[in-house]
Amino acid sequence: MTSLVADTRTVFSRELRPLRYDPFTIIISMVQPLVFLALFAPLLPGDKSEALRWFVPGIIVMSCLFASSMTGSNLLFEIQTGSHERMLVTPLRRPALLIGRALKEIVPMVAQAALIVVVCLPFGYRLSVGGALLGLVILAGFSIGLGALSYALALAAKHQEWMFWVVQQTLLFPILLLAGVLLPLDGGPGWLRTLASFNPLRYVVDAERALFTGDIWQSTTVTGLVAAAAVGAFGLFVGVRAMNRST
Amino acid sequence: MKPSVGHMIETRGLTKHFKDVRAVDGIDLTVARGELVALLGPNGAGKSTTLRMLTTLIPPTAGTATVAGFDVVRRQREVRQRIGYIGQGNGAGHSQRGRDELISQGRAYGMGVRPARARAAELIESLGLGEVADRKVATLSGGQRRRLDIAMGLIHAPELLFLDEPSTGLDPQNRANLQEHILRLRAEHGTTIVLTTHYLDEADSMAERVIVVDHGRVIADDSPARLKAEHVGDTILLGFDSEQETTAAAATLSGRDSHPYGKELRIRTQGGPRQVPGLLEDLRSAGLPAASVEVIRPTLDDVFLTLTGRSLREGGANADRQPAVELVEV
C-alpha cells in the first residue's frame, strides 16, 4: 500500500500532465497578474519601491486565491465523464485527491511569483528569499484548504454546474477585498475592519507582507501560520466528508 | 489484515435509500470465487446502486457487504486495492493520454513506475490500443475509449472485476469484441466478474449465473437455462392443414397443456426438443400428421415477464440499434 505523499504525487503529476502538452495555458495564466500589476501599480501613491513592497505579496496571494478556488472547476468535467468516479474506486487516499489537485493549481503560481519578483526588481523591489519561501509555505497551506473547499463545492454542485460558479464568484471578491489585498484596510470603517478580522486570508496577507520584506520574527507570522493551517485542516475535513457522502 | 477465505462477495440485507426511494431493498447475495455473474433488470432496478455499494462508492443505508474478504464500510482501502471497477462513464480523463492514464492508474494501486509502464504496454497491446494510446483521450472513438476503460480496470490484475453496463452505447461489433475480452480474461486469469446489464442476450450468452433484480430486490437467481426451464419452459408450435385437425389434435393430446389457435396448436412443456419426435409419432398414429413444427425456447425476457408481469424489452425491432431499455406494461 502507498503513503499519503506517494498518493499525492500520483494525483499531482496526473493533473499536471496535460499542462505539459499544452503549455500555452500556463503562459496565459503567468502573464495575467503581470498585466494586472502593470496597470495597477502606477496608481499607487508615493515611493514606487515602497508601494511594490506592499503590493507584490498581495498580487501573489491574489493569484493563489484565484487559482485554488478554481480547483473544483476542472473536477466538474471529470465528474461528468466518469474519471473522478474511477479515481474514487482506487485505493488513493482521499486527502491525496484533494491535496494533489490543489497543488496542481498553486505550483504554477510559485513560478509566477518568481516571475513577478524578477519583473519588479528593476523598479527597486527587494525581497528576503528566506522570508518569501516561508511565506509560500503558509500560502500553500491556505491554498490547499481553499482548493479542498472548491473540490467539495464541485461535488455539491455536480448536478447544477452553474451553482459552482455562482458560489465561487460570490465568495471570491468579499474574501479578496476583506483581506486588504488591493487596498489597505486601515482607513476603512470599524464594521469593515471587524468583518475583516474574521477573514483568515487577511492574516495570511499580513504575514506575507512582513515575510517578503524579511520580518520573520513577527506575530503576523504566527497568526498567518495559524490561519493557513486552520483553513487547510478545515478544507481537508470538509473535502473528505463531501467525497464520502457524495452519491 | 488477511482476507477471509470463501466467498468473493457476501451481502446481508444490503439496503440503500435515497430520501424516500428504496433503490436497493435488502439484497442477500453470495458470489463465489471465479464466478461470472450478471445482474439483470430494468433501469432503476437497483443494479448500479448495488454495484456502487460493493465498490465502496456509496455507503449502504443498512445491511452489510463483504467484498474480497473485507467489509465495504470499515475496510474500504483493502476492498479498493483488490477490485477493479469499470463504470458507466469513461475512466480516462479526456485531456489526458491513454498510456499516461494507465500508468497513473497503476501508480494509484501502488505499482512502481517501471512495472506500471510495462503492464500498461501489455494491456495496450492485448486490447489493440497501440495506435491510439498516445493520443488525447478526447480524440478516441467510443469503442476505443471503452477498451481503454477496460484496460484501466485491469491494470492491477484485480481478483474481482465489476463492470457497470459495459456495452451500453457500443455498436454490435464493439459489443461482441468487448464480451470476447471479458470472457478471455476470465478463462486466462480466473477473475471473478460481476456485471450489470439490461441487454438480455448479453446476460444470456455470457453469464453462467443471472441475478434478476427488480424494485431493489432479487427476484430470481440461477443459470439462464434453469431460469428459463423453471419459470417459463418451452413452447412447441404445431401447424395443421385445417382448424378441425388442430382441434382434433388438441383432443388427442388432452393430457398436455395445449391451446389451439386457428390452424396452430401451442403446447407448453419442458425440454421441448426432446419431446417433438414422440409427439409427432403420436399424432401420426392418430391420423393427424402435423404440417409444420417449431420449438420456441424462452428468452430471459420471458422469464422477467413471468416473474413481474412486465417485459424487459429493448426498444424497437432491432435491439442493437436502440440500446435504450424500455419498460413495457402488458
Q: Which amino acid is at B71?
A: D
Average pLDDT of chain A is 88
pLDDT of residue B313: 67
State the pLDDT confidence band at B315, using cuts at 50, 70 and 90: very low
Identify whether the C-beta of residue B304 lies closer than 8 Å to the C-beta of residue B198: no
**Which residues are paired to B294 by β-bridges?**
B237
State the pLDDT confidence band at A145, using cuts at 50, 70 and 90: very high
Residue A112 vs residues A28, A29, A150, B2, B257: alpha-carbon distances, Å: 11, 8, 21, 49, 83
Measure CA B84 to chain center. 17
pLDDT of residue B36: 92
pLDDT of residue B5: 55
On whether any CB of chain B is under 8 Å from the CB of A23, the answer is no
Chain B partners of A22 at a C-beta cutoff of 8 Å?
95
Question: Could you identify the residue written with the cell 403446447?
Answer: B267
On whether any CB of chain A is under 8 Å from the CB of B102, the answer is no
Integer distance in angstroms from the first to the last C-alpha of chain B?
A: 52
pLDDT of residue A238: 95
In B112-145, which positions are buried (b, 16+ CB within 10 angstroms) versus exposed (e)? Answer: eeeebbebbeebbebbebeebbeebbeebeebbb
- What CATH class does B9-228 carry? alpha beta
State the pLDDT confidence band at B4, using cuts at 50, 70 and 90: very low
On whether any CB of chain B is under 8 Å from the CB of A218, the answer is no
Q: Say if residue B180's pLDDT is above 90.
A: no
Q: Say if residue B328's pLDDT is above 50.
A: no
Please indicate whether, in this complex, the C-beta atoms of B108 and A77 are within 8 angstroms of each other: no
Q: Which amino acid is at B68?
A: A
Chain B partners of A17 at a C-beta cutoff of 8 Å?
96-97, 100, 104
Q: Kindly state the average pLDDT of the residues A84-99.
A: 93
State the pLDDT confidence band at B230, using cuts at 50, 70 and 90: confident
* Grid cell listed for B108: 494509484
Q: Kindly state the average pLDDT of the residues A85-101.
A: 93
CA dist., res. B151 & res. B86, Å (int): 9
CA dist., res. A111 & res. A27, Å (int): 11
pLDDT of residue A154: 93
CA dist., res. B259 & res. B266, Å (int): 5
Please indicate whether, in this complex, the C-beta atoms of B59 and A244 are within 8 angstroms of each other: yes
B67 Ramachandran zone, left/alpha/beta (phi>0; psi -120 to 50): beta
- Phi and psi at residue A144, to the nearest 5°: -60, -45
Distance of residue A147 Cα from the nearest chain B Cα, in angstroms? 20
State the pLDDT confidence band at B2, using cuts at 50, 70 and 90: very low
Percentage of residues of chain A with pLDDT beyond 90: 43
**B115 or B298, which is more confident:** B115
Question: Could you identify the residue written with the cell 463545492?
Answer: A153
Residue B11 burial by Cβ neighbours in a 10 Å radius (0-12, 13-18, 19+): buried
pLDDT of residue B75: 93
On whether any CB of chain A is under 8 Å from the CB of B56, the answer is yes
CA dist., res. A51 & res. A117, Å (int): 14
Chain A partners of B85 at a C-beta cutoff of 8 Å?
86, 89
Q: How many CA atoms lie within 13 A of B207 on its CB side?
A: 31
State the pLDDT confidence band at A226, using cuts at 50, 70 and 90: very high
How many CB pairs below 8 Å do chains A and B form together? 82
Domain B233-296, CATH number (from 3.40.50.740, 3.30.70.100, 3.20.20.100, 3.40.50.920): 3.30.70.100
Q: Kindly state the average pLDDT of the residues A61-68.
A: 90
Q: Where are the domains of chain B?
A: 9-228, 233-296
State the pLDDT confidence band at B205, using cuts at 50, 70 and 90: confident
Q: Say if residue B326's pLDDT is above 50.
A: no
Strand ranges in chain B using DSSP code E only, listed in sequence order = 9-18, 21-31, 36-40, 62-67, 70-71, 83-86, 160-164, 192-197, 209-214, 217-222, 234-239, 257-261, 264-269, 292-296, 310-314, 325-329
With CA atoms as reference, the chain B residue closest to A80 would be B89
Q: Say if residue B318's pLDDT is above 50.
A: no
Please indicate whether, in this complex, the C-beta atoms of A10 and B83 are within 8 angstroms of each other: no
pLDDT of residue B153: 92
Q: Kindly state the average pLDDT of the residues B142-158.
A: 90
State the pLDDT confidence band at A1, using cuts at 50, 70 and 90: low
Query: The sheet that has B21-31: what strands, in order across it?
Result: B21-31, B9-18, B62-67, B70-71
Q: Kindly state the average pLDDT of the residues B121-141.
A: 91
Residue of B58, B105, B110 with shortest CB distance to A1: B110
- For residue A183, the enclosing domain spans 4-245
Number of structural domains chain A divides into:
1
- Phi and psi at residue B37, to the nearest 5°: -120, 135
Tens-digit pLDDT profile for residues A186-223 = 888 889 888 888 999 999 999 999 999 888 888 889 99
**B271 or B30, which is more confident:** B30
Q: Kindly state the average pLDDT of the residues B5-16.
A: 88
Identify whether the C-beta of residue B138 lies closer than 8 Å to the C-beta of residue B59: no
Lowest mean pLDDT among B101-105, B126-130, B167-171, B291-295: B167-171
**B108 or B255, which is more confident:** B108
* Grid cell listed for A146: 481553499
ipTM for the predicted complex comes to 0.85
pLDDT of residue B323: 36
